[in-house]
Amino acid sequence: MAAQSPVAYRPMHGFYTLFYKEWLRFWKVSVQTILAPVLTALLYLLVFAHTLRGHIDVYPGVDYTAFLIPGLAMMSVLQNAFANSSSSLMQSKMTGNIVFILLPPLSHREFFSAYLLAAMARGLSVGTGVFLATIWFVHVPLAHPLWAIAFAVAGSGVMGTLGIIGGLHSDKIDQLAAFQNFIILPLTFLSGVFYSIHSLSPFWQALSHLNPIFYMIDGFRYGFFGQGDVSPWLSLAIVAASFLALSLLTLHLIRSGYKLRH
């Protein structure tokens, strides 16, 4: 057990390990982190498709149940990406085991990327699960799969980043719950998951355009039906700009040690 010089550092392995650990963390409790949200989305589909079918105008020639499925899948992607990074950071801070991540020589970029990718992985896993569980109910076309993938990836990135901010900022579970219940949930539910905003009054349509999650849902849905409430390019630009702005803010917060290194 002789004292030795520090062994050679392998670049990227610290990042990979933190990502792997975050992946394992949700995978080990996949009943709770993947299966449960898939079941929730399935229940939404059954209830909303049954009660609203024929009552809401969506896209011309598109069945409401088919319209709902991409919306639910994307909502699940977004909510679970946020939940993963926010709850992991929050729990680590509360239990104190965040120290095991703060002691090693991980850079702020490695820290950010690992938490972000794990959040995206969980969001995309749940979204895929929702999609696979619901497509048996009705035929869902896939007009532009690359658009769908682009919005799923970018949307999960935005929400995973927002989750990191939420986790860093919150000192108590109540604070994180408030972030989730009073910001994320309303923005998600009012983003057009369950309806096309063309069915709304001009005031609510205008308000919906201020909601960045609307562009994620609309762009994702464009990938399936080839039509949306706004241009997919505009949606992608807004989602990409949101991701960039939030990423820069998060990197700054981690680098400065915001609520991590006192």
Partner 1 sequence: MTTAIHVDRVVKRYGALQALDGVTLEVERGEFFGLLGPNGAGKTTLISILAGVTLATSGSARVMGHDVVTEYRQARRSLGVVPQELVFDPFFTVRETLTIQSGYYGLRNNRAWIDEVIEHLDLTEKADTNMRALSGGMKRRVLVAQALVHKPPVIVLDEPTAGVDVELRKALWTFIRRLNRDGHTIVLTTHYLEEAEALCGRIAMLKQGRIVALDTTRNLLDMQGGCYVDVRLDPARLPESLAPRVVEHENGGTWRLALRDYAELEDVLAALRGAGVRVQELEVVQRDLEEVFVRIMSGH
List contacts with partner 1 (CB under 8 A). 1-11, 13-14, 16-18, 20-21, 24-25, 28-29, 92, 95-97, 99-107, 257, 261-262
> Is the CB of 100 or the CB of 189 nearer to partner 1?
100
CB-neighbour burial class of residue 208 (10 A; exposed 0-12, middle 13-18, buried 19+): buried
- Three-class SS state of 261: coil
> Is the CB of 101 or the CB of 126 nearer to partner 1?
101
> Is the CB of 6 or the CB of 60 nearer to partner 1?
6
> Is the CB of 48 or the CB of 111 nearer to partner 1?
111
Q: Quick count: other Cβ atoms within 10 Å of Cβ 210?
A: 8
Contacts for 228 with CB less than 8 Å, ≥ 6 apart: 218, 219, 221, 222, 235
Distance of alpha carbon 9 from alpha carbon 43, whole angstroms: 49
Q: Report the nearest approach of partner 1 to the CB of residue 231 (Å).
A: 43
Q: Report the nearest approach of partner 1 to the CB of residue 24 (Å).
A: 7
Alpha carbons within 13 angstroms on the beta-carbon side of residue 223 total 21
> Is the CB of 10 or the CB of 50 nearer to partner 1?
10
Q: Report the nearest approach of partner 1 to the CB of residue 100 (Å).
A: 6
Q: Report the nearest approach of partner 1 to the CB of residue 90 (Å).
A: 14
> Is the CB of 73 or the CB of 98 nearer to partner 1?
98
Distance of alpha carbon 223 from alpha carbon 233, whole angstroms: 12
> Is the CB of 101 or the CB of 158 nearer to partner 1?
101
Distance of alpha carbon 11 from alpha carbon 251, whole angstroms: 19
Q: Report the nearest approach of partner 1 to the CB of residue 39 (Å).
A: 22
Q: Quick count: other Cβ atoms within 10 Å of Cβ 4?
A: 6
For residue 102, the Cα-to-chain-centroid distance in whole angstroms is 25
- Three-class SS state of 25: helix
Q: Report the nearest approach of partner 1 to the CB of residue 8 (Å).
A: 8
Distance of alpha carbon 116 from alpha carbon 259, whole angstroms: 18
Distance of alpha carbon 190 from alpha carbon 212, whole angstroms: 11
Q: Which amino acid is at 60?
A: P
Q: Report the nearest approach of partner 1 to the CB of residue 246 (Å).
A: 24
- Three-class SS state of 158: helix
